[in-house]
Amino acid sequence: MREGGTLERGEAGNAEGIRGDAPQMAEFFGRGSLVTVSARTGVDLEGYVCDQNESGLLLDSRDPSGDPTGYEFLPWSSIERVSAGG
């Protein structure tokens, strides 16, 4: 590991580097992206990104069957993790 905490190529056990299909932030949080959000309240929400800005993330949330349940605004401070894809 180099100074500042950056990994040298191969140090993370992945000699190939980043996957070719790895998203950038604009794609990851882009409108229509399906994401699962782990909130600090212990609740996981799944839904489609409607919008995001410096305040937080607006989701069109879905229940486990995929049916819409409404819109959820999550301030960034309430989010522990956001995952996308499978």
Q: For the chain, which domains are there?
A: 25-84 (2.30.30.100)
The whole-angstrom separation of Cα 42 and Cα 80 is 9
Q: Which residues contact 65 (CB under 8 A, 6 or more apart)?
A: none
Render 55-79 in DSSP notation, one character per residue: SEEEEEEE-TTS-EEEEEEEEGGGE
**What's residue 12's pLDDT?**
52
**What's residue 8's pLDDT?**
52
pTM of the model: 0.74
Instruction: Tell me the percentage of the chain whose pLDDT exceeds 90.
Output: 60
Of 30, 51, 3, 16, nearest to 74 (Cα)?
Answer: 51
**21 has pLDDT over 70:** yes
Band of pLDDT at residue 1, cut at 50, 70 and 90 = very low
**38 has pLDDT over 80:** yes
> What is the chain's mean pLDDT, rounded?
85
